Amino acid sequence: MRNPLPRVAAIHDLSGFGRCSLTVVIPVLSTMGFEVCPLPTAVLSAHTAIEGFKLFDLTSELPGFISHWKELSLKFDGIYSGFLGSARQAAMVSDFIDSFRTPDCLVVVDPVMADFGQLYASMPPEMVGEMSKLSAKAQVITPNITEAALMLGRPVPESLDETEVKDWLVALADLGPTMPVITSLPLKSRLDRSTVAAYNREDGRFWLAGRPFVPTQYHGTGDMYSSVLTGCLLQGDSLPVALDRSAQFVATAIRTTFGYSGLGHHEILLERALPSLKTPPESAGYDLLP
Ligand code: PXL
């Protein structure tokens, strides 16, 4: 029997402060009508961009948690992984996907490792190769431009034109996923916009979506984007509509927060934006990349 509430295994860290990972994934997918089963990869006092963070790595606990889920014969409509507590966890997540994936299960891997040209503070360099291998197991991957560059062994570009973007997406699809999505894309013709690009290897089409830049940065927006994208694809939206809906959601959260004075980069008002997930999509703002 199908799950009456579609169920998603969410393999991410739990950070006590600083919106990211499970504190984003759970409310977003829950608001969209999914049951989220968290498999925490690490517990942190605060995310790794906040100085003095404490990280408790759960690598040694994961096999026991996963065995218990096997004993319970849990079935998932989606498997969505993100920040891992150690490079060794990538192989565990890969085995998890092999064990729990069914023909209709959507697998999304967000290879969370880096941003703004740099690996996150807790990331060992071998995570790059491990995340690239893990990406081969997914239908959808959602690296930002820094993660895409690391996975492809290319320098982080200042900007890319349309032809280069297509080349990057095809190179990511060559790692194995059917639908690579690149976020924070510095597209030459749209440097005034926050842009994502995607490729669907199954129909050979390339897509662009985005929203005008707001002159600020908030942590956790990548996790918001990938969470909404996962929910949209699970609820049956097409890839371009899912790209656009996710961009719309992140833009709403950013604009809601930006209007207040005195809120820090770690304080995006996610809860204020959640109700917008219940409304029908705005007229779709995606483009085909010719
Ligand atoms: O948002 C990505 C992310 C997830 N989890 C942890 C992080 C970060 C980015 O800094 O530190 C713990």
Residue 130: CATH number of its domain: 3.40.1190.20
Answer whether residue 270 shows pLDDT above 80.
yes
Nearest CA to ligand 1 atom 3: 20
Q: How far is the CA of 283 from the centre of ligand 1 (A)?
A: 32
Residue 2 in domain = no
Element (DSSP H or E) covering residue 127 = helix 127-135
Q: How far is the CA of 217 from the centre of ligand 1 (A)?
A: 14
Q: What is the pLDDT averaged over residues 249-256? A: 96
Q: Which of 21, 51, 115 to mutate to test the pocket of ligand 1 (most atoms within 8 A of CB)?
A: 21
- Residue of 45, 46, 110, 53 whose CA lies nearest to 84: 110
Q: Is residue 223 within 6 Å of ligand 1 at its C-beta? A: yes
Q: Is residue 273 within 6 Å of ligand 1 at its C-beta? A: no
Q: Could you say which DSSP state residue 183 is in?
A: B
At 2 the pLDDT is: 64
pLDDT band of 280, cuts 50, 70, 90: confident
Residue 232 in domain = yes
pLDDT band of 283, cuts 50, 70, 90: low
At 207 the pLDDT is: 98
Residue 46 in domain = yes
Residue 183 in domain = yes
Domain span including residue 23: 7-289
Nearest CA to ligand 1 atom 7: 47
Is the pTM value of this prediction over 0.95?
yes
Residue 180 in domain = yes
Q: Retrieve residue 126's tokens.
A: 């071998």
Q: How far apart are CA 210 and CA 218, in angstroms?
A: 16
Residue 1 in domain = no
Q: How far apart are CA 90 and CA 139, in angstroms?
A: 16
Residue 227 in domain = yes
Number of domains making up the chain = 1
Contact 248, 281 (CB under 8 A): yes
Q: Retrieve residue 204's tokens.
A: 């050979």
The strand pair at 140-141 and 118-119 is best described as unpaired
Residue 276 in domain = yes
Q: How far is the CA of 289 from the centre of ligand 1 (A)?
A: 30
At 228 the pLDDT is: 98
| pLDDT top residue among 263 and 97 | 97
